[in-house]
Amino acid sequence: MAFSNEQLERYSRHIILKEVGVKGQKKLLESKVLIIGAGGLGAPAALYLAAAGVGTIGIADADEVDLSNLQRQVIHTTLDLGKAKVQSARETMEAVNPDVRVRAYQTFVAADNIMELVRDYDFVIDGTDNFPAKFLINDACVLAKKPFSHAGIIRFRGQLMTYVPGQGPCYRCVFKAPPPPDAVPTCRQAGVIGAMGGVIGSLQAMEAIKYIVGKGELLTGALLTYDALTMEFRKIKLPGNGSCAVCGQNPTILKPFDYEQAGCEIKA
């Protein structure tokens, strides 16, 4: 594929970079990234990936845009209130960059649809806000051999790690199983500073871009934590776990399954 003058201009700041260049930009345009959750994390991740020219972006979310989302979910505007989040996200991404093909999935991800969802993608971004979904995405990506970026945000803190098959621990290696329902508040109950989604979701987009371009080091085998109040980033090395239930030597999880959701987390 040859770049038009318009594309050369649109992607000029990328193409000038030695680490990206023409080849890297072509890889981005040919790549497919799935973003699960069009919320605080998914919004900035989707915007940066669309702007970067990721050729196909899947976005999955069952919710509609409500007023309490707009403090942090910067892909939606006041005019989008009541609209399906995936539709609103699609319109913004297509407006940012017409080179991007957006596939919108207005659904909750669950054990019965996640393998089909992730199958066609090169990289997955976990932008969900609850533990059952995070374990489900981890298990599905391990089983389907898909690299993915995990992240979580709450109050003034955020964290992320990257899983690449065969290159270090998965999310379940480190966290084993979800905490009991309501032992840990969700950001709905605990609050979250809006810009935290911007910081951590942008880092997730950065990991996806580096993976696609094939340059630099990823957060494999490491958890990066960020505390906005003390302004400290910490990179914690994570050991592998040979007895992990999904990616260990004798796995007991052979297909994805759903944990119970805490009652307040699913809106009818």
Residues in contact with other proteins by the rule CB under 8 A: 3, 5, 8-9, 11-13, 15-16, 18, 21-23
Minimum CB distance to other proteins, residue 123 (Å) = 24
Which CB sits closer to other proteins, 8 or 254?
A: 8
Minimum CB distance to other proteins, residue 216 (Å) = 18
Alpha helical stretches, state H, 144-225: 171-175, 187-190, 194-213
Which CB sits closer to other proteins, 24 or 169?
A: 24
Q: What is the identity of the amino acid at 252? A: T
Minimum CB distance to other proteins, residue 22 (Å) = 4
Which CB sits closer to other proteins, 17 or 264?
A: 17
Cβ neighbours for 107, distance < 8 A, ≥ 6 positions apart: 60, 62, 113
Minimum CB distance to other proteins, residue 29 (Å) = 13
Distance CA 77, CA 93 (A): 13
Which CB sits closer to other proteins, 21 or 181?
A: 21
Which CB sits closer to other proteins, 23 or 119?
A: 23
Alpha helical stretches, state H, 179-219: 187-190, 194-213
Residue in 249, 193, 12 with CA at minimum distance from that of residue 3: 12
Chain centroid to CA 93: how far?
15
Minimum CB distance to other proteins, residue 214 (Å) = 13
Residue in 149, 132, 155, 136 with CA at minimum distance from that of residue 42: 149
